[in-house]
Chains A and B, each alone.
Chain A
Amino acid sequence: MPIVKLYANLRLVAGVKEITVPAASLKTLLSALVTEIPALESHLFEDGQLRRYVIITINGHHITELDTLLAEGDQIAIFPPIAGG
């Protein structure tokens, strides 16, 4: 099953750093994730769309298409808006 890693304030909201979520695509994974942890929904979505500046990577590669299919063992990282340098 895909492994989801959460960062920054998403960890505080979810109360976990990592969670395994059964899903075949990124879209269904995000849906299952906010069902499992409802408090995350407002941090990830606004008016049904992914919030601006939320960053999602699969195995370290940026993903912008929510229809992206997932494979067994894929690591999904979700970052809220972050900045620095």
Chain B
Amino acid sequence: MTGWAEKILDIDLTAQSYTTYALDMEMARQFVGGRGLGARLLWDLVGPDIDPLAPENVLIFTNGPLTGTGYQTSNRFSVSTKSPLTGTILDANSGGFWGMQFKKTGYAVLIVRGKAARPVWIEIKNDAVAFHDASELWGLRVFAVTERLGQSNNKRNVLCIGPAGENLSRIAAIMNDRERALARGGPGAVMGSKNLKAIVVEGSERPQIEDKDLFKFMLYETRKLLAASPLTSQALPEFGTVVLMNIMNNIGALATRNHQQTQFEGAEAISGEELTEKYLVKNASCWACPIGCTRISKTDKVEGEGPEFESTWAFGAQCGIDDLPAIIEANSLCNDLGLDTISAGSTIACAMELSELKYMDSDLRFGRADLLAPTLEAMAYRRDVGADLADGSLRLATKYGHAELSMSAKGLEFPAYDPRGMQGQGLLYATSNRGGCHMRGNMVGPEVLGLPKLIDRFQVQGKSSFVILHQNSSAAIDSLVLCKFTNMGVADEYFARVLSAVTGVQYDTGDMIKVGERVWNLERLYNLREGFTRKDDTLPPRLLNEAPTEGPSKGWVVQLEPMLKEYYRGRGWDENGVPKPAKLAALGLAGL
């Protein structure tokens, strides 16, 4: 069978040893790769008795059958683990170059288990695996480690943690290729708990393609479609993702000051238009990506990738800050420290509200751009006020007796979209298997941008079917693993065809959606096994009970309960959100 690398590299850090074995190809056919394959392997490896920061937790790095083939955006890879932030199943995926290089080593999966006695870094060169002493690297920041270990985009790629991961911050990211992040849910802390500083990959194997003619045709067709779409050929490359700032503000769905408001008076100053006009140096792309949405930005102090929309929002509107250079610098600092920008910004915003209400004693106040950088530094090193913020907003707010001020679901901080102005997004946040997240079927497409077609963002009845469809589709794309922006120019049907071309296994669009549904249900089962219940499918009281008093979303709260009931029915789950046996059997999950 072609496409899949077909081998698993299984590393035990405690023993500093490794084994290799064959990938279960039936499992691969069912779960494809990336997020799906990672979830299936994690189900077997990490049960409910295991603490996320214990040596028994594992990091499962996965690529997919398309990875490294050269198909558009086939650069991504995924990490799966039990989240130290939420306690849920977690996967995070990232672009850049590391995923492609990982595939070229000949492995589909890298499992890292155990804990090294002293800091180590791992070097994988095709079949050769070496453990190196990382004593001199421990304490260094991401940019320095990446350079020291010889990052070279098409030849040798570095993945590492920064001080935040070393200090077990539960919002620590794993960084790759210097400024790309496996960000959400704290995978950096899991890596830090294992005393693992970095993984360097260097490979020379070429992914095999079963039907080369069909693959070439799909490459050509996809190139044509991405070039023809105004979204992928103009919108994303011209203004980057931050272009969403003004429209979200315009419609009153831009979470502001820890979701106290839904419009930010400083939105224009932190918009994609402003970033492009004053701070953009050039665009950049991940490997094999013709879209090129990455910004290289420059201020007096820093030059580097980003910021993306969510990061700009987190340090901007969410913190009441309209100082774009300070936001760019905070984004860069997070990359260097190895922190998730969304969780970091939103946790600072939570601290700002706690402090303004005098529940917490700190200088943090909305609008204090001057405190962003020192607070992030303090978080990564668990110093001073940062010690309270290092583990995310829910633990922070709980410590000060006001858990309701954490703007999160299942403990994961929300991104920019205030769901009181986007009902479907509210349902999405409440039901997301890794917590409050927009990468699990973002409803900004249909509810705001008209992609593929505009639906009423305030509509409640019938909304769950859109959410389910988008969740399944995103789980399928995350299992391929491709960039979701590709889907803005290319329909799901193309993904099924190119997957068939690469693997020789026939998939159609229905098969792909079923892969996504299978993955979603497996993740649900995992969380249920961890003790999560229907009561965890919820949102903070602010979003359920406090309506905005002005703006286009005035008077709206999230009508979660009716959507949730409809959602469970639509999913084939019982009234408690437990998948029914018939649904599990239909998805090939019976017995789990």
Q: Could you list which residues of chain A lie within 8 angstroms of chain B, going by C-beta atoms?
A: 5, 7-9, 11, 51-53, 55, 57, 59-62, 64, 77, 79-85
Q: A7-B273, A57-B250, A60-B252 are in contact. Are A83 and B235 (CB under 8 A)?
A: yes
Least distance between B442 CB and chain A CB atoms (Å): 5
Q: Which residues of B contact A (CB under 8 A)?
A: 230-232, 234-236, 238-244, 246-247, 250-252, 272-273, 293, 308-310, 415, 438-439, 442, 444, 448-451, 454, 457, 484-485, 488, 551-553
10 extra interface residue pairs, beta carbon distance < 8 Å, beyond A57-B250, A80-B235: A55-B247, A62-B457, A80-B230, A82-B247, A83-B241, A83-B488, A84-B243, A84-B309, A85-B442, A85-B444
Q: Which residues of B contact A59 (CB under 8 A)?
A: 552
Instruction: Establish whether residues B241 and A85, one from each chain, have CB atoms under 8 Å apart when the complex forms.
Output: yes
Are A8 and B449 CB-contacts (below 8 A) given A84-B241, A84-B243?
no
Chain B residues, CB < 8 A from A8: 235, 238-239, 243, 272-273
Contact of A55 with B273 in the complex, beta carbons under 8 Å: no
Q: Once the chains bind, are B309 and A85 in contact (CB under 8 Å)?
A: yes
Residues of A within 8 A of B309 (CB): 84-85
Taking a contact as CB atoms under 8 Å apart, the answer to whether A62 and B239 are in contact is: no
Interface pair A62/B251, CB less than 8 Å apart:
yes
Q: Which of B251, B252, B485 contacts A83 (CB 8 A)?
A: B485
Taking a contact as CB atoms under 8 Å apart, the answer to whether B247 and A79 are in contact is yes
**Assuming the A-B contacts A8-B239, A53-B449, are A81 and B234 also in contact, with contact meaning beta carbons closer than 8 angstroms in the complex?**
yes
Whether A60 and B251, one on each chain, are in contact in the complex, defined by CB atoms closer than 8 angstroms, is yes
List residues of chain B with CB within 8 A of the CB of A52.
Answer: 230
Instruction: State A7–B243 Cα separation when bound (angstroms).
Output: 9
How many residue pairs at the A-B interface have CB separations less than 8 Å? 95
10 sample A-B contacts, Cβ–Cβ < 8 Å, listed by A number: A53-B230, A53-B231, A79-B246, A80-B234, A81-B231, A82-B243, A83-B236, A83-B451, A84-B293, A84-B309
Q: List chain A residues, Cβ under 8 A from B553.
A: 60
Cα separation A59 to B454 with both chains bound (whole Å): 17
B243: chain A residues within 8 A (beta carbon): 7-8, 82-84
Give, as a whole number of angstroms, the nearest-CB distance from A65 to chain B: 12
Cβ contact of B551, chosen from A7, A60, A80, A83, cutoff 8 A: A60
CB pair B251–A85 under 8 Å, yes or no, is no
Q: B317 CB to closest chain A CB, in angstroms?
A: 15
Q: How far is the CB of B506 from chain A (nearest CB, A)?
A: 31
**A84 near B450 (CB under 8 angstroms)?**
no
A85 lies within 8 A of B450 (CB): no
B244 touches A55 (CB 8 A): no
Cβ contacts under 8 Å, B231 to chain A: 53, 81-83
Do A62 and B454 have beta carbons less than 8 Å apart?
A: yes
Closest 5 A-B residue pairs measured CB to CB? A60-B552, A84-B241, A81-B230, A84-B244, A83-B231
Residue contact A9 to B244, C-beta cutoff 8 Å:
no
The docked-state distance in angstroms from the alpha carbon of A53 to that of B251 is: 16
**Cβ-neighbour of A82 out of B251, B439, B449 (below 8 A):** B449
Residue of B244, B309, B438, B553 contacting most chain A CB atoms (<10 Å) = B244
The residue on B at minimum CB distance from A75 is B250
Contact of B238 with A85 in the complex, beta carbons under 8 Å: no
Q: Cβ of A83: which chain B residues have Cβ within 8 Å of it?
A: 231-232, 235-236, 241, 243-244, 449, 451, 485, 488
* A38 vs B384: C-alpha distance when bound (angstroms): 58
Give bound CA distance, A84 to B488, whole Å. Answer: 10
A57 CB to closest chain B CB (Å) equals 6
Tell me the bound Cα distance from A2 to B329 in angstroms: 38
